[in-house]
Amino acid sequence: MSGKITTQVLVVGGGPGGYVAAIRAGQLGLDTTLVEADRLGGTCLIRGCIPSKALIHVASRFAGLQQLSVAPHAGIALKSEPDFDLPAAIQWKDGIVDKLSTGVAGLLKKAKVRVVHGTAKFADAKTCTVQTGDAPVEITAEHVILATGSVAAGLPQLPWGDGVISSTEALSLPALPKRLVVVGAGYIGLELGIAFAKLGVEVRFVEALDRMLPSYDRALVRPVEQWLKKRGIEVLLNTKAQDVARANGGLRVTVQTGDAAPQDLACDTLLVAVGRRPNTQGWGLEHMALTMDGAFVKVDAQCRTAMHNVWAIGDLVGEPMLAHKASAQGEMVAEIIAGKRRSFDPVAIPAVCFTEPEIVAVGLSPDEAKAQGIETVTGQFPFAANGRALTMDAGGDGGFVRVTARADNHLVLGIHAVGAHVSDLSGEFAHALEMGARLEDIAHTIHVHPTLTEAVPEAALGALGHALHI
Ligand code: FAD
Ligand code: NAD
């Protein structure tokens, strides 16, 4: 492709923000062009959400079989240890990624979106040049939607390369390391670190704060802490990595806990997962006269930037850096450009951490509500008392559902859960909050028996003071 393109809507970035914006704009009849420098699907599909969840699934299955080979359970015994073939697992994971990326291309085509492969570089706010394989393409647009996403934030003292990796490399390792040190016990560190531990890797975590997963309240994180403790997996809190050096064919990471003397940790691979930063460099953002909000592009409640008809969405515009937030903003911006009245004002953006066990947070925790001066009632129901959880061996990990509501009118402010398979309850939680549910609405909604979902009305009944099964 070469020459000039004039388009109504130019979307830069084909991640869950950008590709959803482009599909919706195309569906609404807007002449739409999407530029993507890499593969369609963005961080989430190519090197984030999907490949990590595939690896987590494989690791859990392997660990389950491994456990059966050591200790027969529920009538199942394995006579020998299962084998694990990492390249084959990665090939399987890549097959899923390929399928979904091809699917995105098909959806864009169906919506009549023009896709240009290459890196967009802006000379001014509405004009960009894309260096494609053939020749440069100049694109002029009425509206520009910036969806360039984010990149892994490294640490200067732990330069990438030579065994120091980000999540991208962690998802495509040629072989399992024997010993892995993970710097950062947040989303990525814990999700991937736990998966590697299940695959038999000796994992240690180094976390700068006094607790892991700081974005979730302590009660929710406790079952994960217990899972790690039970397996002897060390989490060094209040600890910072200071240096890394090659030693004896591996790595030596120097860390310091509080004011204690620095100590060295030996490992083969060092995963640095200390957060992500918006992708704002190298594509001409500075020529677009936008206002920034710290490292992020500043937007209003409709994702408008400071420049007329330039919009920005997803990881580029701030926390939470989650795929479903990016997609929701993308869909909204396309509709606003097409003349619909929309704004980004969700009651809550649900979040799930795919640890062992999983954690779901939707809306306010009791402490967050208290900090806002709201008097609350809460109800908590343990999966240990849920029949379905027990039939799935999911009742013994300290999991629960907790419902938080206003004390005065019982409006539900937050629903949180921790436990096996709870990620799939997140939709119910978000729906309840978005629909303005009261405790009585949840308590009186008939939930199927036996399912994990029964813990939700039980928690609501608990908040009303009369749980049935506890
Ligand atoms: P991105 O997905 O980052 O997409 C941006 C796209 O823009 C990229 O494809 C990039 O190549 C392209 N691009 C950038 N600059 C240019 C340019 N100048 N020209 C052309 N193209 C350009 N979120 C969840 O909600 N759930 C999860 O389970 C989850 N797991 C994750 C696991 C990992 C390991 C990681 C790293 C992230 C995970 N995330 C998860 C976060 C999620 O991936 C991001 O929030 C999401 O991808 C953001 O979408 P986006 O569209 O804003 O940007
Ligand atoms: P994070 O913010 O979740 O966690 C980073 C952790 O690193 C924090 O606990 C922080 O205290 C710690 N840290 C920071 N600097 C440190 C240092 N110098 N030494 C030791 N520890 C340090 O970031 P992440 O895990 O890199 O993930 C990035 C983002 O990707 C997440 O915030 C999230 O938005 C997204 N993500 C989401 C999911 C999901 O939705 N399930 C999964 C993976 C990633």
Give yes or no for residue 132 CB within 6 A of ligand 1. no
Please report, as a single letter, which amino acid is at residue 437.
Answer: A
The predicted structure's pLDDT at residue 132: 84
Structure tokens at 142: 């009425």
The residue type of 350 is: P
Q: Specify the pLDDT at position 248.
A: 84
Q: Is 435 annotated as a binding residue?
A: no
CA–CA separation, 460 and 415 (whole Å): 10
> Which residue segments constitute the domains of the chain, with CATH numbers given?
4-47+90-151+277-337 (3.50.50.60), 164-274 (3.50.50.60), 351-464 (3.30.390.30)
Centre of ligand 1 to C-alpha 42, Å, is 5
**CA 76 and chain centroid, separation:** 34
Ligand 2: centre distance to CA 18 (Å): 23
Which ligand gives the minimal distance to the CA of 190? 2
Alpha-carbon radius of gyration of the chain: 24
Is ligand 1 within 6 A of the CB of residue 37?
A: yes
Counting ligands in written order, the one closest to the CA of 280 is 1
Ligand nearest to the CA of 171: 1
pLDDT at 190: 98
Known catalytic residue at 449: yes
Residues facing residue 11 across a β-bridge: 34, 145
Pairing relation of β-strands 400-406 and 412-419? antiparallel
- Pick the catalytic residue from 308, 449, 466, 469: 449
Which ligand 2 atom is nearest residue 184's CA? 7
Burial call 108-144: b when 16+ CB within 10 Å, e when fewer: beebebbbbbbbbbbeebbbbbbeeeeeebebebebb
157 in Cβ contact with 270 (< 8 Å): no
- Helices (H) then strands (E): counts for the chain: 13, 24
CA of 14 from ligand 1 middle (Å) equals 9
Cα(80) to ligand 1 centroid in Å equals: 41
- State residue 1's pLDDT score: 60
Residue owning the nearest CA to atom 9 of ligand 2: 186
Cis peptide before 320 (omega within 30 of 0): yes
* Residue whose CA lies nearest to ligand 1 atom number 23: 322
Q: What is the CB < 6 Å shell around ligand 2? A: 155, 183-189, 191, 206-209, 214, 240-241, 273-276, 320-322, 352-354
Residue 183 has phi, psi (to 5 degrees) of -95, 115
**Is the Cβ–Cβ distance between 304 and 348 less than 8 Å?**
no
322 assigned ligand-binding residue: yes
| Mutational test site, ligand 1, from 1, 36, 39, 43, max ligand atoms within 8 Å of CB | 43
The answer, yes or no, to whether any atom of ligand 1 lies below 6 A from the CB of 119, is yes
- In angstroms, how far is the first alpha carbon of the chain from the final one? 65
| Best probe residue, ligand 2, of 158, 188, 225 (max atoms within 8 Å of C-beta) | 188
Q: Ligand 2 centre from 273 Cα, in Å?
A: 6
- Residue closest via CA to ligand 2's atom 23 equals 275
Nearest CA residue ID for atom 7, ligand 1:
13
Work out which ligand 1 atom sits closest to the CA atom of 152. 36
339 exposed, middle or buried (CB, 10 Å; 0-12, 13-18, 19+)?
exposed
Alpha-carbon span 395 to 400, nearest angstrom: 9
Whose structure tokens read 């979106």? 113
Q: Cα–Cα–Cα angle for 231, 234, 236, nearest 5°?
A: 155
Q: Say how many Å lie between the CA of residue 212 and the centre of ligand 2.
A: 10
pLDDT along the chain (470 residues), means of 10: 89 98 98 98 98 98 97 97 98 98 98 97 93 89 98 97 97 98 98 98 98 95 98 98 93 97 97 98 96 98 98 98 98 98 98 98 97 98 98 96 98 98 98 98 98 98 96
pTM of the model: 0.98
Note whether 127 and 139 are within 8 A (CB): yes
Q: Which residue has the tokens 């595939």?
A: 54
Please report the DSSP string for 51-93 in residue order: HHHHHHHHHHHHHHHHHHHHS-BTTB--SSPPP--HHHHHHHH
Q: Say which ligand is closest to the CA of 319.
A: 2
Q: Is 27 in the pocket of ligand 1 (CB under 6 A)?
A: no
Q: Which atom of ligand 2 is nearest to the CA of 188?
A: 25
Relative to beta strand 202-206, strand 234-236 is parallel
Ligand 1 centroid, distance to 115 Cα (angstroms): 18
For residue 147, the Cα-to-chain-centroid distance in whole angstroms is 17
Q: Tell me the CA distances in angstroms from 131 to 120, 325, 391, one per residue in order.
A: 7, 29, 56
* Strand partners for 140: 6, 127
- Please give the number of the atom of ligand 2 that sits closest to the Cα of 354: 41
Query: Which segments within 105-238 are labelled E, that is strand?
Result: 114-117, 119-124, 127-131, 136-146, 150-152, 164-165, 179-183, 202-206, 234-236
For residue 2, the model assigns a pLDDT of 60
How many angstroms separate the CA atoms of 88 and 93, rounded? 9
